[in-house]
Chains A and B, each alone.
Chain A
Amino acid sequence: MNIFEIKKKPKRKRSTPVLERLETRDLPASLGPNLPGNHTIARDVAQFVPLLYPPGTPQPTPGEVARESFVAIGEGVYTVGPGAFNTQAYSIHGYGKSASSNMSRKARFQYVVNEPSTPGAPVTGLMHFLVANFLSSGGSIILDLQGPTGTEVHGLPTRLYWVHDATSGTTFTGVGTNLPGFNYFPSNYFNAKGTPANPPPGSPGVPPSSVDNWNLGLGEATFKYVPDKHPLPRTLGSGKVYVVFRGLINNSGAQNPIDKNYM
């Protein structure tokens, strides 16, 4: 090589700073077809409409079903440990930083699932999605988990139902505590075994469900576990977990300071 040859400097990669659009202009946003920020519609959620809005109660329009549709996916890790109470055979704790939903592009999650020690009792638990790229801080989607035993793979339950918890944060807080009042929030979506009640609440003769409950939410959760060959020390098991949550959440649409919800 000629030492006097001038080395050409490699071209600099140019990166143009961009402003990332704030979540709240998009989600949870209206389904106005000609408007920006359309809410991505989750599939396969119509199955939950008869549970939340049984015959005899006001029925949601197709646009409303699409507005309430919720889907969240996440990837994380889990550990298995002893139950916290004598009614729990063991507990599964999972968490992940990589999660996304159609109501929050970025999210983190933590959950706990408790396998019952009594045969026939339901599996219970809690899931918390901490939403990100939202203007309001403190936003969180809290879902109460329950379901029947029998879906376990390697002893870990893989399919549960969820109900929206009113203690969710800010944008997702369950409201309507005075009107229509919590007495209209049915607490009997599920029977003693953790399967959906039949007939569902709100049906004739069953405690009513009001469409003005900005807290109603129900869906299903699936968990896929990939156990570690060598579990983490002091755990009963550990590994990777993939979660998918799908259902309906009747968010009021008026709990976000910059949500220009056109419908």
Chain B
Amino acid sequence: MASNGRKRKEARLFVEDLEAREMLSAAPIAAPGARSAAAEVASIRTVEAARGDRRFASTRTSGDPSGNPFEKFVNPNVIAYFENLLYGPNSATPMTPSAASLQRQLFTGRWIGQYTIGPPRFNDRASTIHLWAVSGGSNQFHKGKFNMVLFPPADPNAVPNPGDPFVNQTTGLATMFTQNNLQTGGMLIVDINGQPKPGDSPNTLPTDLTWTFDSSSAGPYTAPTGFTQGAGSLNIEYKPSHRPVPGTEGSGKMIVTFQGLINYSFLISSVAKVYS
């Protein structure tokens, strides 16, 4: 009992598992106790739920009995599409990845944060949308911070030309800063683009875009030769605020969801034990 007569709140301490022992490591094919990446995530979610960990409570989709947010929003058709894009017969690296390799490459992530809208940086852009979040993670790193900029086009019907090949596309960049990972300096950078939907005005906030892995990524995501493939889709849900942040043209909350494939090498992680 505290000196003022109130009951003290008890805070239980627990040791958080190190990311690198579980994530960003290959699912050992021949080793005992091998589990799929999805099962790995499910088991972690179960432990976190038992601890009362509410970090991902808001990302859980209602009606999902397993409570596994990363399993819920993976769309096998999307993954198959990007598998063909990266490794299909017309791709830059035509080859057939094994099932285990595809499982290893699977990347899903979700962040809940904020966004602001500001004036464009260049005369062919409609605005600059900045999104950031500290609450979120992925199946490859439990916890991470997130930062993204998007540049919708001023004229979605403009014709691309050598001086401006992306004049009619939304472009952008996202950086995911890995946390609870043994290595510092982890940055997963993806380049973003997308075509506005027909009839959308330049002020329409983009929701469905595609991303490609940027080999400028750092730390565990450093991409040596042969490990530069990565692509997927992202979806953004916006909840505009009635009172935008002063100085902005709009602001509010957002939820961004990533899914796709990243040919992660596992060679740059200091504790990744790749069995094959």
Contact = CB atoms under 8 A, between A and B. Distances in A.
A73 B66 CA distance: 57
Contacts of B185: 136-138, 170
Given A175-B214, A178-B212, A178-B213, A61 B173 contact: no
A46 to B, nearest CB: 15
A202 B163 contact: yes
Interface residues of B, number: 46
A61 B130 contact: no
B44 to A, nearest CB: 23
Interface in B139-156: 145, 147-149, 151
A261 B145 CA distance: 15
Interface stretch (A11-19, A27-35, A126-134): A27-35
Band of interface residues on A: 35 or more
Contacts, number: 140
A177 interface: yes
Most chain A beta-carbon contacts within 10 A, residue among B151, B212, B213, B216: B216
Contacts of B163: 56-58, 202, 204, 208
Interface string A40-72: 000000000000010011111101100100000
A247 interface: no
Interface majority SS (helix, strand, loop, mixed), chain B: strand
Interface of B: 116, 118-125, 128, 130, 132, 145, 147-149, 151, 162-167, 171-175, 177, 184-185, 187, 189, 191-193, 212-216, 218, 245-248
Interface of A: 30, 32-35, 53, 56-61, 63-64, 67, 136-138, 166, 169-170, 173-180, 184, 202, 204, 208, 210-212, 214, 252-263
19 contacts: A35-B245, A53-B122, A63-B119, A138-B218, A175-B189, A175-B216, A177-B215, A178-B214, A212-B166, A253-B130, A253-B149, A254-B148, A258-B145, A260-B116, A261-B130, A262-B118, A262-B247, A263-B116, A263-B118
